[in-house]
Amino acid sequence: MRFTDRLFAGPSIVRSRWQRWSARPSRVGGPRLLLIGNCQASAISTAMRLLRPDADVVFTSAFGIDRTYPRMEDLVRAGAAFDFVFANAFAAPFRDGGTFETLRAGVNLVPIPTVVFSAFHPDAIYVGDRIGGGDGRDIVYGPMGGYHSALALHGYLEGFTLEKTERLFGRETFSRLGYLDVWPDAEAALLKLGRDAGYPLDDEIVRWARRGSFMHGINHPKMFVANDLARGLLAKAGIAHGECDLDSYVADPFIAAGTWPIYPDIAAYYGVAGSSLFLKAPSRRTGPTRTMTLRAFLKASFASYARRPRARLVSPRTETWRESDAIRSDLRALAGR
């Protein structure tokens, strides 16, 4: 399991624990809620515990869930012991071929919309997973974990120096590459994720945007997003809850997974707070949490790339750029090569 997955996974849930949960009544007669999913579902479960202190709220990570429950049938049986199962859509190689739809048919399921939004961080990409979906096993990890800078990777592959690559991080480059035009597509994609989960996000996007940036990275929202989803999901399940200023009660766990900066020129374009510092998550390889300047980030990224076969340094974004003579020429000129 990757570090960021462990970070949000919470206590390990094994069969014996499921049996204990299914055998005992709720603490004060409140609802019994199971949440299955990614780090977002974990954060939502934290908010739900505060909104309904009488509830039994259990979270388990969807990453590797087929190792605990080799068959979907086993997961359905465990989930049926809960009043509601809230889950992000996930895929796992269950031995019986069970899918998310199998889970939906067997338990009282409330789908959780997954929040992915790239407009604030259009340069952030994954490297090494050519398919762009997969199970994450082919993803290359660098100084910011699974996130990489498309501009940094392009600079390395083109043989640019650190200084020349750093010159690419400006408004002229962002305009040339369409980084300032991402919002409409990012919003449409997020709205579709909501519709797919049966949870319209139109009003939420407006409300979140009024607060400025609502993302730490392309798929790590800020905690107030998870708080809103917790309230909305409970309401969708018909579960009443008390009034609670969750923003004042819950620390933001996503910060511990690192924060990709909103580059100053992009922040100025959207009228939100920006940063020129990268906040890295703690890891055995790179040490404790700390901030990095752009130059330090580029240096660490280049060193990471140099340790890997060039064939693994793949990304649809950079491959598209390098296949375009016009884009390659423009980026070379912007870098001052």
- The answer for residues whose C-beta is within 8 angstroms of residue 297's C-beta and 6 or more apart is 143, 144, 149, 152, 278
Record the tokens describing residue 243, joined without a space.
């009034």
**What's the pLDDT score for residue 9?**
44
Confidence of residue 69 (pLDDT cuts 50, 70, 90): very high
Record the tokens describing residue 30, joined without a space.
């409140």
Confidence of residue 285 (pLDDT cuts 50, 70, 90): confident
Once rounded to an integer, what is the mean pLDDT over residues 266-294? Answer: 93
pLDDT tens-digit readout, 218-276: 999 999 999 999 999 999 999 999 889 999 999 999 999 999 999 999 999 999 999 99
**What's the pLDDT score for residue 29?**
78
Q: Is 198 left (phi over 0), alpha (psi -120 to 50) or beta?
A: left
Given a cut of 90, whether residue 130 has pLDDT beyond it is no
Given a cut of 70, whether residue 167 has pLDDT beyond it is yes
**What's the pLDDT score for residue 34?**
97
Q: What is the CA radius of gyration of the chain?
A: 21
- What is the residue-averaged pLDDT of the chain? 90
Q: Name the burial class of residue 159, with classes exposed (0-12), middle (13-18) and buried (19+) by CB atoms within 10 angstroms of its CB.
A: exposed
Once rounded to an integer, what is the mean pLDDT over residues 140-149? Answer: 94
Confidence of residue 28 (pLDDT cuts 50, 70, 90): low
Given a cut of 90, whether residue 45 has pLDDT beyond it is yes
Once rounded to an integer, what is the mean pLDDT over residues 102-121? Answer: 97
148-149 vs 290-292, strand pairing mode: unpaired
**What's the pLDDT score for residue 116?**
98
**pTM of the predicted model as reported, rounded to 2 decimal places:** 0.88
Quote the CA–CA distance of 106 and 154 in Å, as a whole number.
47
